[in-house]
Amino acid sequence: MLSFNSVIVRYGEISLKGKNRIAFELKLKSNIEKKLEIQREDFSRVILKRGRIYIKGIKDVPELKNILGIYSYSPALEIKKDIEELEKEIVNFFSVLKGKKSFRVRCQRIDKKFPLTSIDIERKFGEILFEGTKIPVKLNDPDLNFQIEIGEDNIYIFFEKIKCFAGLPYETAGKLVSLFSAGIDSPVATFLMMKRGVEPVLVHFKITDKDYKKVLLLKEKLEVFTCGKKMKLYVINRDELFNEKFSSLYKNEKFYPYMCVLCKYLMHKKAGEIAKQVNAEGIITGDNLAQVASQTLRNLFVYTTVSGFPVYSPLISFDKEETIKIAKEIGTYEISTMKSEGCIPPKHPKTGVSLEVFNRILEETELK
Ligand code: ATP
Ligand code: MG
């Protein structure tokens, strides 16, 4: 009975790095170890080799999908690097081909000095498998893709490459404060920055309890990608944000149309204070150009400059469909779309506030 005994992990972008490459590789390795320790204990070793990480003594680890920086992985059979050993093993694979309509053998040599070429190996083992099973070879879109990898130390046999999120390992880029609402966008924006190695510190301005509960669930969803580390979450009440002036301003006809941009301005100001406190180097938002009244270029200019920190909004040019697709992939969509009452924006909010007018409003509202 055939059983896999290892997993091959491939990483994409890290392999393009120059001098820093080893630091990224070691971080990815330690993230894998942390994740596996939490999930299960039956792996023996994680081994770093040029361009690959091998996990020995394990059959399959679906949790690998959630480790950022991994491009793909394959549950595999690891054998000695010896062509006779491979010949001996191959007969055990006849049963795997049973019931399949077609197959092909693909070989990749990481060890370029191996005496047989990839084509030699593909031909030789294609023939053995065909003779043993009489299943036809089909090079294009076969039923079973029989893959052989000649590594530096071992040979691996596997059938599939399971695609992961790729990107860079968690915690290789530094810290950013993330303006985190209960909506669809900010969890996706936060995830995309995590995928570039960022450790986010979440800041939520609490308007309703329902939204706050959603935020806690969303935080948990993103923690799937942190290899066991809890994320920090700051919760600030709306009244605190507006120096307890929110209701009076909301009811004031003059200030009412400016509420959205005022609100975002105060959020960014507060986020800047928190960023200083936690030594973060910028702010993440789920802003998306022209999505709502507060997200025009003019308004964005007014509120994204107040903190003095750079603002990263990876969804700025996305179509909503693109954001929703990612939200579904990372499991935040179901939570973000749960019914809740967030803020009620003014009927005719200001869409293009100039800095000059906005500064006047700030003075008059005494919110500066
Ligand atoms: P999302 O954009 O996450 O779907 P939303 O639609 O409620 O939430 P927008 O009005 O689009 O929020 O605001 C743009 C961005 O401002 C959000 O993506 C988020 O980064 C930030 N933001 C909005 N509301 C809050 C909040 N209550 N707490 C923290 N940040 C917020
Ligand atoms: Mg939004």
pLDDT tens-digit map of 262-293: 999 999 999 999 999 999 999 999 999 987 77
Which amino acid, one-letter code, is at 208?
T
Q: Report the distance separating Cα 109 and Cα 132, nearest Å.
A: 25
| Structural domains counted in the chain | 2
Do 50 and 76 share a domain, yes or no?
Answer: yes
Cα–ligand 2 centroid distance for 320 (angstroms): 9
Q: Are residues 150 and 224 in the same domain?
A: no
What is the rounded (10 degree) CA torsion for 319, 325, 331, 332? 10
- The CA distance from 291 to 82, in Å, is 60
Pair (217, 318) in one structural domain:
yes
With a cut of 90, say whether residue 251 has pLDDT above it. no
pLDDT at 12 over 90: no
Cα 251 to averaged position of ligand 2 atoms, centre (Å):
24
Domain end position, chosen among 121, 142, 163: 163
Ligand 1 contact via 204 beta carbon (within 6 Å): yes
| pLDDT band at residue 40 under the 50/70/90 scheme | low
One domain, residues 134 and 181: no
Residues 141 and 194 occupy one common structural domain: no
Which ligand is closest in space to the CA of residue 179? 1
Whole-number pLDDT of residue 50: 80
Is residue 204 a contact partner of residue 215, using CB atoms and an 8 Å limit?
A: yes
What CATH code is carried by the domain that includes residue 149?
3.30.2130.30
Specify the 3-state DSSP secondary structure of 249.
helix
For residues 342 and 322, membership in a common domain is answered with yes
| Mean pLDDT across 230-242 | 94
Residue 136 has a CB neighbour count (10 Å cut-off) of: 13
Domain boundary among 109, 137, 163: 163
Does the pLDDT of residue 1 top 60, yes or no?
Answer: no
* Model pLDDT, residue 44: 65
Kindly state if the Cβ of 35 falls inside 6 Å of ligand 1: no
Residues 227 and 150 in one domain: no
Residue 131 has pLDDT above 90, yes or no: yes
Tell me what percent of the residues of the chain surpass a pLDDT of 90. Answer: 70
The mean per-residue pLDDT over the stretch 4-23 comes to 87
**The pLDDT of residue 319:** 95
On whether both 43 and 154 belong to a single domain, the answer is yes
Q: Which of 156, 162, 146 has its CA nearest to residue 105?
A: 146
Q: How far is the CA of 291 from the centre of ligand 2 (A)?
A: 7
Are 114 and 156 a contacting pair, CB within 8 Å?
no
- Domain of 142 in residue numbering reads as 6-163
Greater model confidence, 341 or 322: 322
Assess if residue 1 is contained within a domain. no
Quick check: 16 pLDDT over 70? yes
Helix axes 297-304, 259-278, angle to 10 degrees: 40
The preferred substitution site among 179, 181, 339 for testing ligand 1, maximizing ligand atoms within 8 Å of CB, is 181
pTM of the predicted protein model:
0.93
| 3-class state of residue 72 by DSSP | strand
367 confidence band (pLDDT: 50, 70, 90)? confident
